[in-house]
Amino acid sequence: MSKMETIVVGGSPMDVLYDGPADSKVRPGILLMYHRGGFDDFTKLVVKTLVDAGYRVAVPDVSHRTSRDVPMKDRKQYFKDAEVIADMKAGYEFLKGRPEVLGGSITLMGHCMGGRMAFLGGGAIPGFSALVVFYGGGVLLPWGDGPQTPFDLLKNIRCPVIGFSGGQDKNPSPEHMQQISAELKKHGVKHDFHLYPDVGHGFQNPAHGSPEEQAAAKDSWEKAFKFLKQMMPA
């Protein structure tokens, strides 16, 4: 039942990819923030993985303010945190308002820059039931004028967090993940971070595909779904 819908955010039309099991059962929702590749094969694979597990998924196109002449991989430089927060809030309300979505059980999830957005949204938007972050980098830096970074907003998170990263990654580095963990702990935010020492960035993407990355991808999905089922079974 995958389809592209359109909502308006700040006067700008924003596409939202929406998908879920082909039934009318009321199920938990997941707001998925895409990685730098946008609506590419990897994002579609993640959506399918979540739908197959029983969740209803929405992916907002946070590049809707950027000219379509700009390649997707280059649009990140035009993102502003305040606008991304507005897009995530609109995506959250989109999911919450659907009759087939359990409005009180919505997770915010993201990979790479989408993981950064998940930290940002978790700290800026109340109401999420859980955060799932896969190798979200750039958390200590603002997009746009700032002044607050996703790191500055970690103290506002009011739901459990699970995170996954690679020991060979530079962004986020293991040191950055330790810093984020310490900040969450300082403010009493329940979290569980998992480090895979032998892999780098993007290990969930099948395009990388080394045995170590495949093992990390499999294990991280298993842990993520176990976490989600504890929080909000599909």
pLDDT digits (tens, 9 = 90+) for 84-125: 999 999 999 999 999 999 989 999 999 999 999 999 999 999
- State the average pLDDT over residues 7-22: 96
Query: Hey, is 146 helix, strand or coil?
Result: coil
Q: What is the per-residue pLDDT for 19?
A: 98
Burial class (CB in 10 A: 0-12, 13-18, 19+), 207: exposed
- State the average pLDDT over residues 183-194: 98
234 pLDDT tier (thresholds 50, 70, 90): low
pLDDT tens per residue across span 154-165: 999 999 999 999
Q: What is the per-residue pLDDT for 208?
A: 87
Strand order in the sheet with 27-33: 3-9, 12-19, 56-60, 27-33, 101-111, 130-134, 161-166, 191-196
Per-domain residue ranges for the chain?
A: 3-231
Whole-number Å distance between alpha carbons of 93 and 75: 25
Whole-number Å distance between alpha carbons of 145 and 106: 29
Nearest to 137 by CA among 190, 181, 108, 176: 176
Residue 26 CB neighbour total at 10 angstroms: 14
4 pLDDT tier (thresholds 50, 70, 90): very high
Q: What is the per-residue pLDDT for 230?
A: 87
**Does residue 232 surpass a pLDDT of 70?**
no
- State the average pLDDT over residues 11-28: 96
Q: What is the per-residue pLDDT for 191?
A: 98
Q: Which CATH class is domain 3-231?
A: alpha beta
Q: Are strands 161-166 and 130-134 parallel, antiparallel or unpaired?
A: parallel
Q: What is the per-residue pLDDT for 161?
A: 98
Query: Hey, is 73 helix, strand or coil?
Result: helix
